[in-house]
Amino acid sequence: MVASMNDRTWTRACVDCCLAAVVVAAAVGLLLAAALAPAPPAVLPLVVLAGVGMPMVVAYQLPPAVAALRAHRRLATAVRRDLAQLPETAHPFDR
């Protein structure tokens, strides 16, 4: 199961996706703050670099995380399908 998930756990893949969302929100906030409160001209290149560069760096980790989440869903569906094919049996203590 782990080998098919590209050595990522479900939790790590979720953390990567949530981190990407937080970084994009922070970058939007940074760019919005720089636009609303006039930033010094010397700082604008750094703001643009951070506002565009941070999401690009984090987006690099998203495809493996999404692939791991999809692989986990496929494996969980396969396990549920296999479990559904098992016959129902009575519990040994039921009489």
Q: What is the pLDDT of residues 6-61, one digit of tens each?
A: 567 888 999 999 999 999 999 999 999 988 988 888 888 899 899 999 999 999 98
Q: Positive or negative CA dihedral for 21, 60, 6, 73?
A: positive
Report pLDDT for 7: 64
Q: Residue 84 phi/psi, 5° resolution?
A: -70, -25
On whether the CB atoms of residues 17 and 61 are closer than 8 A, the answer is no
> Could you tell me the pLDDT band of residue 94, with boundaries at 50, 70 and 90?
confident
Q: Residue 61 phi/psi, 5° resolution?
A: -90, -10
Rounded alpha-carbon distances, angstroms, from residue 93 to 24, 87, 90: 56, 18, 8
pLDDT, tens only, 56-86: 999 998 999 999 899 988 988 999 999 889 8
Q: How far apart are CA 34 and CA 38, in angstroms?
A: 6
Report pLDDT for 8: 72
Report pLDDT for 95: 66
On whether the CB atoms of residues 27 and 53 are closer than 8 A, the answer is no
Report pLDDT for 40: 87
